[in-house]
Structure 1
Amino acid sequence: MTPPLAGLYAITSADICADDARLLAAVTAALRGGARWVQYRDKLARPEQRLRRAAALVTCCHARGAGLIVNDDLQLALKVDADGVHLGAGDGDIAAARAQLGANRVLGVTCGDDLARAQRAVEKGASYVAFGRLYPSNTKPDAPPARLETLREAARSLAVPVCAIGGITPARLPAVAATGARLIAVVDGLFGADDVELAARAYMRGLEPYN
């Protein structure tokens, strides 16, 4: 049984994905620290590497009661029996992805700062919609900025959880969580930290007033 779509959402970085053992160790540390959703995002690995790593992460996450989402690759998500897939802009048809996933798997959709895109995504079957980057980001420094007001309006008007991403630190977390965003996605703030578990715990403390 997958956890609710809420809380700390750990998205793997290119740095840790370069090594299988490091990837598993870092994700395990994030889960120990409180993350209940992980997204496997790996743009550089070969197909056989991606298959091996995604399968290992499914096992790792499920052993700890967490969910695993695969970024951009619907077929890989289905092949390893992941809990869902996340589609960026231009990464495939949302309705077609929902049809292949079935009713029970998670379908996340990147929406930038575009509330209308989020509304269309929900109509086509999105389980959650993601807005960002909210702050300067090491992962996507050139991504267009998104506004907290867009998060607030999305949380108010949409029937699915809202995900916030982009430069969110524990210090910035209260302003983000106060918008009603339920999923807080973090890449570098977790996997760029010297101690991933400790970093995850810092985010979890920031989320406590909003749970």
Structure 2
Amino acid sequence: MTTVPGATKDRLKGLYAITDENLIAEEKFSETIEAALMGGASIIQYRDKSSDPTKRLHQAATLRELCNKYGATFIINDDIGLAKTVTADGVHLGRDDTALASARQELGEDAIIGISCYDDIGLAITAEQNSADYVAFGTMFSSPTKPDAVCAGPDTITQARKQLNIPICAIGGINESNILQLVNHHTDMAAVISSLFAADDIQQRARLMSQYFI
């Protein structure tokens, strides 16, 4: 897998925007993501659970171009084949997704692979030992996207930071009012969905939240 120059693993920091087909109108997909990038989002994850491969390929290719334009890192959720096709910078995997070792073999050493660890620091330690490039903990706060998700809380970040050497991403219920709390708990990335893409002014909301990582 060939990644784009500049999208290196040492740039895993900042506002991590995750797409949502329920919040982003298909006809406004490109302009919506570009607004987030213009506002300072440094990582874009494409997450679309629809069964339309043509749509998914088109949108992923669009994101690849936009991330190239703005120097952002491009991650695809749980689709190694699509990641390879559009030369994404990497993939994000969950507990029930493709095994980390298999993904690494498919994508190569240069690919970024992130793992969802929920509230399980032990799982994160194992992921790091097995070559994960970053881990995600959450949900940090109650989340409208996943109301029944396991609650990890900001203190999980603090405890994990003492035991991990790879970047940490916080996810779940993060908004402009609580993101600083997570930065103060030493998260490297804050993943956002509804608090960004449901905003009236996406660019301004991204700017507001990304400023804490400067």
The TM-score bracket by the shorter chain reads over 0.9
* CA distance in structure 1 between the partners assigned to 2:155 and 2:143 by the alignment: 19
Matched with 2:111 is 105
- Segments of structure 2 that go 5 or more residues without pairing to the other structure are 1-5
- Residue number among 9, 19, 22 corresponding to 1:15 in the alignment: 22
* CA distance in structure 1 between the partners assigned to 2:24 and 2:99 by the alignment: 27
Matched with 2:3 is none
Structure 1 segments (4+ residues) deviating >3 Å: none
C-alpha displacement of 1:17: 4.8
Percent of paired sites with the same residue: 42
Matched with 1:125 is 131
- Residue number among 141, 145, 148 corresponding to 1:139 in the alignment: 145
Matched with 1:28 is 34
- Supply the AA of the counterpart residue of 1:162: I
Structure 2 counterpart SS, 1:137: coil
- Segments of structure 1 that go 5 or more residues without pairing to the other structure are none
Matched with 2:93 is 87
C-alpha displacement of 1:147: 2.2
- Residue number among 170, 177, 191 corresponding to 1:185 in the alignment: 191
Structure 2-normalised TM-score?
0.93
Equivalent pairs counted in the alignment come to 207
- Supply the AA of the counterpart residue of 1:122: E
8 Å CA contact 1:98, 1:124 repeated in 2: no
- Residue number among 193, 196, 206 corresponding to 2:202 in the alignment: 196
Q: What CA deviation, in whole Å up to 9, does each residue of 1:142-181 have, x standing for no partner?
A: 1111122211111221110000000111211121111111
* CA distance in structure 1 between the partners assigned to 2:165 and 2:102 by the alignment: 20
Across the aligned residues of Structure 1 and Structure 2, the Cα RMSD in angstroms comes to 1.3
- Supply the AA of the counterpart residue of 1:2: A
Matched with 1:2 is 7
Matched with 2:53 is 47
8 Å CA contact 2:24, 2:32 repeated in 1: no
Structure 1 counterpart SS, 2:98: coil
